[in-house]
Structure 1
Amino acid sequence: MINSIYLRRKNKILIKEGNNKLPDVYLASILKNIEGIGYTFSKKLMDTIRTLSIDELEVFYDSIIAELKKIVGHNVEYKPMYPNFPKQVMDSDVCTLYINAIIHYITLDLPKCKVQERIPLLDNINLRVIDLGEEEEFKQICIDLLSSKTSISEADKEDIKWFVEEYKDDVNSIIPKDIPLKENVALLASLLLKHTNRANDILFNHIKTSTDVLRLTVALSDGDTSLATNTKFRNFKRSERRLILSLLENCNNITEDMVRYKNQWIRLGEKLHPFEYKGKYPKSFQGFNIIRNNIKIETFNSKIEKAFLNNDIIKSVDLLKTRPGEFARRLDQLLRSTEYWQYVIDNFKKVCGEIASPVLMQVISHFKHRNKGNDLRVFFPKGNVAKVYAIKNNLSLINDEACNRVVKLCENELRTRFSNLPQLGNVYIDEKLNDYIVPFSQRSASKALRTIVRGSKVDISDGNTIRFFLWWKEGLVGNVHTGRVDIDLSAIIYDKNWAYLEHASYTNLKSDKYKICHSGDIVEAPNGACEFIDIDINSIIKYGGRYIVMSLNSFTEQPYCNLPECYAGWMMRQYPNSGEVFEPATVKDKIDVTADTRICIPVILDLVERKVIWSDLALKSNPYLYNNIEGNEKGMVLMGKAITNLSKFNLYQLFKMHANARGTIIDEIDKADIIFSVDRGITPFDIEKIMSEFM
């Protein structure tokens, strides 16, 4: 498991140096085998492997090859409906493809055809280099995750759980001094309670509000600590109930905080039985009594809403100054509600130093683009499902000078804040980082070969054919069988204005004009099933295409979280009829699809700019239509427009701000003390490091 995490996050492995001299033939054999998966070893790692015995090498190889195959999706067998894809599909007439599909739907039989011998892969492959790691750097992964200033993903949380269980006897070595995010506090405290006897420091030093206590109980019940969804609370032991109520009793203003999540507290009260302890924990009992009996109290939010309703800017500002983070989130509403914007900004300046850095960055980005006339306003709701909402932008304009003052104010505060951090020396910053978004929220991010931030843009490498792939399996999840599972892979072509041009899916396996083709629609997967789509970039651009939306649709309506396994990705193919249909060395990205939803949009392609736009989005199915491309096309367009036109704070801006505050920017990369780039030094894929050290 150590190397599973280390490989996925850092492309490194841990291996103990031996006392032997391994013949080069063994090392060469391993290098050749992993080369076929798209990997090789650094010289430092090769030198360490040379010290292993043959038995040690065998154990090492068996573990590492299995992990590498799993990472790129090469641990399963791929049997597309048309095994000689893509040529077989492009050479077949539409009638034959249609009849074969109908026969498959009725009998589940696949078309009988001779599997032709394929010529070897002709593509040039840039191998990923695996380096030798160190245990301290490995532990730092957990420290960085817990130090994150923004929300982390489910995959991140699973890694933290492993670290706590593995290092439970030396748990202080993986815990940072400061844990800024309350969700991480709840997760860590719950893990320490479950696996160690060292939870008290976290519990009594970091849990300070009733919402902190609620998050802890949610974490102990394996629920959503963002509190965006309801949790089915487990039964707590008497000792746990006393601990939870004692933590709640030590908090201030508990009732107002409890009102914010009233329904969840009512359900939790059914498990805690606070009436039994009303003598020992009277404040807690009183809080539960108020929410259960709907006793009205005046809350901060009700006061704010009343002030806005009465257009009382002075009252609104005075209230918001007591909660600076909320002031930042309400700043736009304040500024468009009054002509006295100077008064609002002057008071915002007084509390700016108390606002979290990620929030200040979002304020900067918002007000930089506030009056640029964007057609849509885009929202990513809090929660563990990657949804996006886009509505028409009908907001009134705000004075340009006010917008500029807010931006400068926040920039100055961040620059001052960053200047107090250790000096960086000479700094090189790659301008390509303008294409990568700062990780403000990774809560709903999927586990992937290379996890980056939603809305970021990755260069499409050399080659003219992009091959999407999908693999899924039906079977038991827990003790319940999924039944027949049919997941459909689709690709939709739009022009520069998002007008529909063509699509490839089970309803349309090929297009001679746009040279796109689908490997065939498989409708059951007891042993796993796969689908592929090939996209010829030049032909699509030639006929006016620009955007391609990759879509996965659960035709049989099971949510992805209820499947044993489902993942998708894309390859870059220079010679699509060479090599196997699935060539692991050509895989650029692979994403595990596990959301509680029935439609997923992993990526959107901008073929004109030659960019892959990382989407990782969920879309609700249309209840009146089959769950297919035709039924969801309007939603696809809206989400496509939203994700391709995001105006968010990017990594170039972030790193440049750090460099200006605590270093010197230089143009020569080899003379830099620290490098920020796409493929050297600190990269967009070092998300946990960015979230902990630079935000």
Structure 2
Amino acid sequence: MIHPLEPLVVRHTHRLPAPRGAAGQGGVAARQFDAVLMSVGFKLSAELLEHLAALAEETVIDTAVRTLDTVRTMAGDHVRHNTYFIDFPAHVPDTHAFWRQCVVDALGRGVDVTRLGDGAVDLLSLPAYGRYQHTYAEMLAAHRELIATAGDRLTVLHLGGAPEDEVADLYLALAGSSTPLGDAGLLDLAVLAGHCVDGPRPPTIPVRENRAVVNRARIEAGAAPLLDTVTDALRLACALSDGDVTLVQPTRFRSPSRRVRRLLLAGLDAVVSANPAKLADVSAHREAFKRLGERLHAHEYAARWPHAADVFAVARGEKQARSLDSRVEERLAAGDVLGAARLLESAPGRLFRALDRLLRACATDAERDALADAATRLAPEVSGRVLLSVREHLLNRARGSGSRRVFVNRLGRAWATDDSRSPLPEDARVRLMAALDAETSRRLPDPGHLLIDPDVLDVALPLSGRATAAGLGVLPRGSLSPVDGELLRFFVHWKQTKEPTDFDLSALMLDSGHETVGWLSYTALTGVEGEHSGDITDAPDGASEFINLRLGAVRGTYIVPQVNIFSGEGFEEVDESFFGFMLRDGDQLGRPFEPRTVRMKSELRGPGRVALPLVFIRGDDGTWRAKWLHVYLRGTPRRNRVEGNRVSVATLVRGFVERDHLTVRHLTGLMADRAAATTRWDGRSVPDGPVTYIGLERPDGLHPDSCVVTPENLRDLIPG
């Protein structure tokens, strides 16, 4: 029997739940399955291939069909990637010559091309512009077969356990994650929570957004929610209304059933009854609580649940409950820094987030020493994610004047500004970093034999799932990864929902001083560096654009791919949109899109009208590396173009390039101090006994009792 959530397991873990069926001679079908998988950049592990070979042929074929659908979607091969210029990247015309030809074609058809008031030609009015001039099949016929090389991507699929066990394990891993999940992760958790609501529960659910998703599943199954703050109830109400459980965006609350109203009010009453001080949390979301109170008809139940009634009285301003923040601000305004710190000791996480400000407000070394003492004493009570976030912050506070601060909100919108803060005292900064490292090291498990893939060391720690887009080969914001290949090809695909939508793929080239060298876009189809595949302006059935770059010919130090929304629906409104890049050897032929050459494919789901997935950086030795951004710029409502956002993009890129992110290297360094042995994996042999393996891909042949950490579960490295 096929488990309906099998695709989720494959996407999140690169494990195929062990197919079940009658024994048989499935070896030939299994090898054929493996060969087809390799054509799209995937491969069966030796153990999985052996398992399939022992099953009946029809079971193997059924497994192959549904697994191929899943992995092709992971790589972006589930859609037809056509190009405007049929034999791209060959024979791409000069931009202005192409435009002139479009005008000539329009005049030949009797089209009035001077529709604009000033007599200029509107490209969008030209019949030959922005629309495919050939079918997908015709485009395929114009290209030769892909020349396979050893450098093509092969993502290994490993054998999983029983389907129900794999689904339950994935649910426990996501629900119990010590770091927030991204939007796609929360959606997957919601599906898993509904399926696993009657099964095992994670020991703790430290992330409040995850708790809201799990609580919704519990309520829909008739169970009581798990609440320990008033904000938990608010997040749950948002989840029940399909709203934003992060509370960043306002939610239009639905009118719940009587049973749900009673569960929410009873939960609020129990929380406040146990700790009336928690009423202070209401003020942070006063308006949302007021709207929720109206939907819950709280006044009707005031006698039964008086403490819940107090929540909404505070929201309406009828009852006072001073927040911790207001009391802290009062102490700071009076110059009582240590008094403010003592108040924050009741919320150690907030104290750590305020350390920079408190240190700058200290008037004497004695005050700074007392603050450092308090932080060191309270470190064991702070989550590992906060410890590491503060450690990264302090790492970047060593920079002097002239540096840039980069801000990225929870939605992924980014901006940069000059850093005007006064420097931190170096002795206090170093002392605090040492204390954070000591506490982090204490929490890390004994790894035994630590086996490390060197390519993972510069991957940024996933301190928030919102710093990573959903997709294949995607790394957290700030990660650095090598780029090996002669040809770099970007692609974007989108499919509009209702109105005509025009996404424009562009690549901006910057020099070492972040000044513009040039760009490729629909306004510059060719250049020294490469070619653009042509502008598509309407995507009712989906559309794709490509940029082909010869890395050896690139002028400058930085390549910044970007997706601009020229018109129509936003990234979160279209039916589908994703970006990615491929790497090829210089003489490697093939179609414009070849899934086995795809190194990264990420979903484009964010605010703003300009997406910046990553930046490519040339080193002093001429080699290239990618630094992952996953950010969005606000842009303008219409007509966003690379020419119009060059300055803002360059400013943001400079801020990201200058910033140091805490990486896997930091944690493996702390773990190595207690490891029985530490080995850098050579890509070939693996130890015979159990290991703690940390790398980009799980190698074949690891001992079954090994602990394996790859980008798919990198969050497991973050101590609780």
Give TM-score, length-normalised by structure 2: 0.87
Instruction: Specify which of 343, 360, 364 is matched with residue 370 of structure 2.
Output: 343
- The secondary structure found in structure 1 opposite 2:673 is helix
The offset of 1:487, in angstroms, is 0.8
Instruction: Specify which of 392, 398, 401 is matched with residue 424 of structure 2.
Output: 398
Deviation readout 1:289-317 (Å, 9 max, x if unpaired): 23214655532111111211221123212
The offset of 1:553, in angstroms, is 1.2
Show structure 1 runs of 5+ residues with no match. 476-481
For the residues of structure 2 that align with 1:4 and 1:79, how far apart are their CA atoms?
27
8 A contact 1:123–1:573 mirrored in 2 = no
Deviation readout 1:437-463 (Å, 9 max, x if unpaired): 1111113632111232111112112x2
For the residues of structure 2 that align with 1:23 and 1:150, how far apart are their CA atoms?
42
Q: For the structure 1 residues 636 and 438, does the alpha-carbon distance in structure 2 shift closer, same or farther, using more than 3 Å as the test? A: same
- The secondary structure found in structure 2 opposite 1:435 is coil
Deviation readout 1:599-643 (Å, 9 max, x if unpaired): 2111211133411222211110136x7311122222211221232
For the residues of structure 2 that align with 1:410 and 1:655, how far apart are their CA atoms?
15
User: Does residue 611 of structure 1 match 2:625?
Assistant: yes
Query: Counterpart of 2:408?
Result: 380
Q: For the structure 1 residues 171 and 227, does the alpha-carbon distance in structure 2 shift closer, same or farther, using more than 3 Å as the test? A: same
- The secondary structure found in structure 1 opposite 2:490 is strand
For the residues of structure 2 that align with 1:692 and 1:258, how far apart are their CA atoms?
33
- The secondary structure found in structure 1 opposite 2:491 is strand
Query: Counterpart of 2:192?
Result: 163
Deviation readout 1:520-568 (Å, 9 max, x if unpaired): 001111221111100110011xx4x111111111111421111111111
For the residues of structure 2 that align with 1:15 and 1:434, how far apart are their CA atoms?
32
8 A contact 1:557–1:627 mirrored in 2 = no
For the residues of structure 1 that align with 2:194 and 2:672, how far apart are their CA atoms?
38
Describe how 1:30-429 pairs up with structure 2 within 5 A: 30-89=33-92, 92-100=93-101, 105-109=124-128, 110=131, 117-124=142-149, 125-135=152-162, 136-168=165-197, 170-172=198-200, 175-194=201-220, 196-197=221-222, 199-200=223-224, 203=225, 206-251=226-271, 252=275, 253-293=277-317, 297-338=321-362, 339=364, 340-373=367-400, 375-381=403-409, 383=410, 385-418=411-444, 421=445, 423-429=446-452
Deviates more, 1:445-454 or 1:112-121: 112-121
Q: For the structure 1 residues 318 and 580, does the alpha-carbon distance in structure 2 shift closer, same or farther, using more than 3 Å as the test? A: same
For the residues of structure 1 that align with 2:13 and 2:23, how far apart are their CA atoms?
27
Q: For the structure 1 residues 658 and 28, does the alpha-carbon distance in structure 2 shift closer, same or farther, using more than 3 Å as the test? A: closer
For the residues of structure 1 that align with 2:373 and 2:388, how far apart are their CA atoms?
19
The offset of 1:427, in angstroms, is 1.5
8 A contact 2:496–2:575 mirrored in 1 = yes
Query: Counterpart of 1:448?
Result: 471
Instruction: Specify which of 551, 562, 565 is matched with residue 576 of structure 2.
Output: 565
The offset of 1:16, in angstroms, is 2.7
Query: Counterpart of 2:703?
Result: none
For the residues of structure 2 that align with 1:29 and 1:111, how far apart are their CA atoms?
35
For the residues of structure 2 that align with 1:683 and 1:631, how far apart are their CA atoms?
45
- The secondary structure found in structure 1 opposite 2:538 is coil
- The secondary structure found in structure 2 opposite 1:255 is helix
CA root-mean-square deviation: 2.4
- The secondary structure found in structure 2 opposite 1:398 is coil
- The secondary structure found in structure 2 opposite 1:261 is helix
Instruction: Specify which of 626, 630, 638 is matched with residue 651 of structure 2.
Output: 638
Query: Counterpart of 2:564?
Result: 553
- The secondary structure found in structure 2 opposite 1:612 is strand
Q: For the structure 1 residues 67 and 101, does the alpha-carbon distance in structure 2 shift closer, same or farther, using more than 3 Å as the test? A: farther
Q: For the structure 1 residues 405 and 24, does the alpha-carbon distance in structure 2 shift closer, same or farther, using more than 3 Å as the test? A: closer
8 A contact 2:132–2:536 mirrored in 1 = no
Deviation readout 1:72-122 (Å, 9 max, x if unpaired): 111221221101001120xx3444322355557224435868867433222
Query: Counterpart of 2:109?
Result: none
For the residues of structure 2 that align with 1:111 and 1:264, how far apart are their CA atoms?
48
8 A contact 1:148–1:688 mirrored in 2 = no
8 A contact 1:307–1:315 mirrored in 2 = yes
For the residues of structure 1 that align with 2:540 and 2:681, how far apart are their CA atoms?
55
For the residues of structure 2 that align with 1:546 and 1:122, how far apart are their CA atoms?
30
For the residues of structure 2 that align with 1:317 and 1:248, how far apart are their CA atoms?
29
Deviates more, 1:115-124 or 1:344-353: 115-124
For the residues of structure 2 that align with 1:389 and 1:112, how far apart are their CA atoms?
39
Deviation readout 1:638-693 (Å, 9 max, x if unpaired): 22123223222211111332342465434577447222233346777444453476
For the residues of structure 2 that align with 1:23 and 1:278, how far apart are their CA atoms?
67
For the residues of structure 1 that align with 2:5 and 2:408, how far apart are their CA atoms?
33
Q: For the structure 1 residues 533 and 683, does the alpha-carbon distance in structure 2 shift closer, same or farther, using more than 3 Å as the test? A: farther
Deviation readout 1:162-221 (Å, 9 max, x if unpaired): 2233334x422xx21121122211210111211x23x33xx3xx4111112111111222
The offset of 1:247, in angstroms, is 0.9
Query: Counterpart of 1:478?
Result: none
Deviation readout 1:247-300 (Å, 9 max, x if unpaired): 111122243111111111111111011111111122222331232146555321
8 A contact 2:34–2:43 mirrored in 1 = yes
User: Does residue 690 of structure 1 match 2:715?
Assistant: yes
8 A contact 1:425–1:663 mirrored in 2 = yes
For the residues of structure 1 that align with 2:467 and 2:19, how far apart are their CA atoms?
36
8 A contact 2:522–2:535 mirrored in 1 = yes
8 A contact 2:85–2:533 mirrored in 1 = yes
For the residues of structure 1 that align with 2:315 and 2:12, how far apart are their CA atoms?
44
For the residues of structure 2 that align with 1:606 and 1:15, how far apart are their CA atoms?
42
Poorly superposed stretches of 4+, deviation over 6 Å: 681-684
* Equivalent AA in structure 2 for residue 9 of structure 1: H
The offset of 1:18, in angstroms, is 4.0
Q: For the structure 1 residues 668 and 648, does the alpha-carbon distance in structure 2 shift closer, same or farther, using more than 3 Å as the test? A: closer
Q: For the structure 1 residues 528 and 444, does the alpha-carbon distance in structure 2 shift closer, same or farther, using more than 3 Å as the test? A: same
- The secondary structure found in structure 2 opposite 1:560 is coil
The offset of 1:123, in angstroms, is 4.2
Deviation readout 1:221-258 (Å, 9 max, x if unpaired): 22222212211111111121111111111122243111
8 A contact 1:605–1:611 mirrored in 2 = yes
Query: What is the aligned-residue identity percentage?
Result: 25
For the residues of structure 2 that align with 1:566 and 1:38, how far apart are their CA atoms?
21
For the residues of structure 2 that align with 1:408 and 1:10, how far apart are their CA atoms?
34
8 A contact 1:120–1:579 mirrored in 2 = yes
For the residues of structure 2 that align with 1:25 and 1:298, how far apart are their CA atoms?
71
* Equivalent AA in structure 1 for residue 124 of structure 2: Y
Describe how 1:429-468 pairs up with structure 2 within 5 A: 429-443=452-466, 445-461=468-484, 463-468=485-490
8 A contact 1:430–1:652 mirrored in 2 = no
For the residues of structure 2 that align with 1:563 and 1:66, how far apart are their CA atoms?
22
8 A contact 2:493–2:544 mirrored in 1 = yes
The offset of 1:362, in angstroms, is 1.9
Query: Counterpart of 1:479?
Result: none
Deviates more, 1:223-232 or 1:159-168: 159-168
Q: For the structure 1 residues 314 and 49, does the alpha-carbon distance in structure 2 shift closer, same or farther, using more than 3 Å as the test? A: closer
Q: For the structure 1 residues 61 and 213, does the alpha-carbon distance in structure 2 shift closer, same or farther, using more than 3 Å as the test? A: same
Give TM-score, length-normalised by structure 1: 0.90
* Equivalent AA in structure 2 for residue 152 of structure 1: L
- The secondary structure found in structure 2 opposite 1:336 is helix
- The secondary structure found in structure 1 opposite 2:612 is strand
Instruction: Specify which of 580, 599, 606 is matched with residue 591 of structure 2.
Output: 580
Deviation readout 1:116-157 (Å, 9 max, x if unpaired): 743322241242222211133553222111111111112212
8 A contact 1:147–1:179 mirrored in 2 = yes
8 A contact 2:496–2:569 mirrored in 1 = no
